Amino acid sequence: MDADVAIGLLRTMWRIRCFEERVVQLKRSLQVHGLIHLSIGGEGVAAAVCGRLRDDDAVYSGHRAHGHAIAKGAPIDRLMAELMGRSDGVCRGLGGSMHLVDAEHGFMGATGVVGGNLPLALGTALTHHLQEADRVTVVFFGDGAVQAGHFNESINLAALWRLPVIFVCENNGFAEFTSREEHSTIERVSDVVAPYGFERTTVKGSDVPAVWEAFGGFLDAARGGEGPFLLECLTYRRRGHYEGDQQKYRDAAAEQEWAERDPVAQLTRRALDEGWIDDEAAAAIEAEAGEAIEEAVRFARESPFPEPAITAELVYAR
Amino acid sequence: MAREIPYIAAVQEAIRVEMERDPSVVFYGQDVAPSDEDPLVQAFGRERVRVSPISETAEIGMAVGLALAGYRPVVELLMAEFMLVAMNQVVNEAPRLRYMSGGQVKVPAVFKAGYGFTAGWAGQHTGSIYGMFMGFPGLKIALPSTPADAKGLMATAIRDDNPVCYLINYLLVLEHGDVPEGEYTVPFGEAAVRRSGSDVTIVATGWTVGRALAAAETLAGEGIEAEVIDPRTLNPLDTATILSSVEKTGHLVLVDQGTRHGGASAVIAAEVAEHGFTSLKAPIAQVTALDVTVPYSEPMEAFVLPNEEKIAGKVRQVLGEAPVAA
């Protein structure tokens, strides 16, 4: 990690943070329509992983996908327009928060079914293998996906065929509304895949340099055609499972503890300590992100709602 | 040049021809090419012809990912029921991604499976379950009933830019017929009129096309001329050909190996009832499998399935030449 990397990651994290905090407001005022899942508190993983990728690398994500899409390079104005159901949205207003796709930047898609697109990542990785390309596929998922069949099938086949895919688990300790110990006797997701024999590790997701380093090692190997790999990042979801969640399952003490370990705050402190930025620069990064989000909201509000006529042209590829 | 080959060989030939034609076509599945002597492995190697574990979710989901990245996978799934293990991939990922992404991506994947093997394979290997797939916009369904269509529809399925459930009727695999050599495609959404007639329209799918043609021969002996239409694909469905035939005959009997409720024939009946009502001189009749799980015992199996007698009887009924059964 050096100054340029740290500043770049802070910019990305602040864009995600400001985007999602603005979505909270827009959801409350019913300008964002529908089901919304936020990643506030977990931005470090999205920034550090996607920050190392190229546009021609493929990323898949789950229902908590805003951060991954932003970090992969999806334009925030079109993401905001998508959440507001407008025709200039990345998916023309037809996908929404859980189905974001920005193929141009290699964000191949979120899914509304927990872990439902894990096997899609195998297909993209097999393509890269067949083409002998140095492109890499990353799939983000939560600890809640690990108990499902599609996770286990995907891990088995990826290991069997040695596909260049990196599984990135954001283990926030909650599968929707219940804690990990109610879902599995295995605490660490990296232990679940141990018998397959591929490289895996667990890092603190709030420690952005640690994620950056760990992912970087896997990425270099995957670029050389090796795989699969699994990176488990221990994170914390500071909002509920969805916007509107009463969060009666929440432990207030843990919340306080995680607020102190916030990845944005931690990386900012590190950058200040290292002398990479000063207080003024830190404030400017946050302010720039906030302004960009306001511009995105303006763009989205000006965009019209989609016309029913687009349906006929989009159900089937012709 | 056409020559006579079995239905199952026609399917394999289409895959081979399309793999030769397009290097982005890959073929994998359970028990595909168990030995290196397999002709597809010999021709295309182990990178493009792969054996996968019994892992339908991974196999089908992987096909979606391959398709998103520009390849054209054909997945061997053996039995249509095995797709049920991976319904999230078949119906929730493959056909929805193009629409949900606002048209950014396409998913040209073929899910190849057999169905309807009512030869003692019992309750979980004999279902004709394609009717449910008609309810998922974005997913195409091909049901070849002849060796030539088996080849032509597979080639079209591979070239199509959408996910296709290509369903082989296992009762037909050894039936022989003329099949053109080399590249050969049959368009989707174009029904075949298998027999012309002016008295009644029979729409039949898959294995029941042959049963309907046999019934039509019997009826011809009685002076009844039946027109037999094979839709060949259920999605897209060629309702225009069916409607224009009904306009001519005024009578419609629908034959399908699937169940009556939630099945293909119910969908076709609804289309004709809505758009062809004024052509009808009698209520639409359906000859489907009964709404039960296909039983094991041979006489019981025959009891639940459509056959020539049931079809001919229903035709006589709609023409008012037989009493209406309760």
- Measured between beta carbons, the chain B residues lying within 8 angstroms of A157 are 52-53, 55, 58-59, 62
pLDDT at B326: 46
In angstroms, the CA A151 to CA A170 distance is 14
Choose the mutation target among A153, A154, A167, A311 for the interface with B, i.e. most B CBs under 10 Å.
A153
Domain B2-180 has CATH 3.30.428.10: no
Structure tokens, A150:
């599609």
Choose the mutation target among A59, A61, A124 for the interface with B, i.e. most B CBs under 10 Å.
A124
**Pairs of residues, one from chain A and one from chain B, whose beta carbons lie less than 8 Å apart:** 145
Q: Which residue has the tokens 């959440």?
A: A83
Q: Is B97 on the interface with A (CB under 8 A)?
A: yes
Q: Is A121 on the interface with B (CB under 8 A)?
A: yes
Q: Which residues of chain B have pLDDT under 50?
A: 326
Q: Is the Cβ pair A318, B92 closer than 8 Å?
A: no
Across chain A, what does the average pLDDT equal? 94
Residue A133 φ/ψ, nearest 5 degrees: -90, 160
- Measured between beta carbons, the chain A residues lying within 8 angstroms of B87 are none
Q: What 3-state class would DSSP assign to B8?
A: helix
In angstroms, the CA B52 to CA B30 distance is 5
Q: Is A193 on the interface with B (CB under 8 A)?
A: no
Q: Count Cβ atoms below 10 Å from residue A274 Cβ, excluding itself.
A: 12
- Measured between beta carbons, the chain A residues lying within 8 angstroms of B105 are 101, 103, 108-109
Note the Cα B99 to chain centre separation in Å: 24
Please name the helix (run of DSSP H) or strand (run of DSSP E) that holds residue B82, with its range, or none: helix B80-83
Residue B201 φ/ψ, nearest 5 degrees: -100, 125
Burial group, residue B292, by CB count within 10 angstroms (0-12, 13-18, 19+)? exposed
Choose the mutation target among A126, A162, A196 for the interface with B, i.e. most B CBs under 10 Å.
A126
Q: Which of B67, B88, B104 sits opposite A101 (nearest CB)?
A: B104
All domains of chain A in start order, with CATH: 3-297 (3.40.50.970)
As a whole number of Å, the end-to-end CA separation of chain B is 51
Assess whether the region B2-180 and the region B192-318 belong to the same CATH fold.
yes
Tens digit of each residue's pLDDT (9 = 90 or more) over A185-199: 999 999 999 999 999
- Measured between beta carbons, the chain A residues lying within 8 angstroms of B65 are 108, 119-127, 137
Q: Torsion over CA of A210, A211, A217 and A218, rounded to 10 degrees? A: 150
Q: Count Cβ atoms below 10 Å from residue B54 Cβ, excluding itself.
A: 13
CA distance A96 to chain B (A): 8
* Domain assignments of chain B as residue spans, ordered by start: 2-180, 192-318
The residue of chain B nearest to residue A135, with distances taken between CA atoms, is B69
Q: Which residues pair with B285 in a beta bridge?
A: B253
Sign of torsion over alpha carbons A70, A74, A75, A81 = negative
In angstroms, the CA B241 to CA B250 distance is 14
Choose the mutation target among B87, B104, B111 for the interface with A, i.e. most A CBs under 10 Å.
B104
Question: Which of B 64-83 lie inside 8 A of A, CB atoms?
Answer: 64-71, 73
Q: Is the Cβ pair B53, A156 closer than 8 Å?
A: yes
Q: Is the Cβ pair B62, A150 closer than 8 Å?
A: no
Tens digit of each residue's pLDDT (9 = 90 or more) over B157-177: 999 999 999 999 999 999 999
Are residues B227 and B245 in contact, defined by beta-carbon separation less than 8 angstroms? yes
Domain B192-318 has CATH 3.10.310.10: no
Structure letter (DSSP) for residue B93: I
Sign of torsion over alpha carbons B130, A108, A125, A176 = negative
Question: Which of A 54-83 lie inside 8 A of B, CB atoms?
Answer: 58
- Measured between beta carbons, the chain A residues lying within 8 angstroms of B59 are 119, 157
Q: Which residues of chain A have pLDDT under 50?
A: none
Q: Is the Cβ pair A316, B70 closer than 8 Å?
A: no
Active site residue B125: yes
Structure tokens, B147:
């060796």
Q: Is B57 on the interface with A (CB under 8 A)?
A: yes
pLDDT above 70: percentage of residues in chain B? 98
The residue of chain B nearest to residue A312, with distances taken between CA atoms, is B99
Please name the residues in contact with B308: beta carbons below 8 A apart, sequence gap of 6 or more: B211, B214, B215, B218
In angstroms, the CA A280 to CA B133 distance is 59
pLDDT at A27: 94
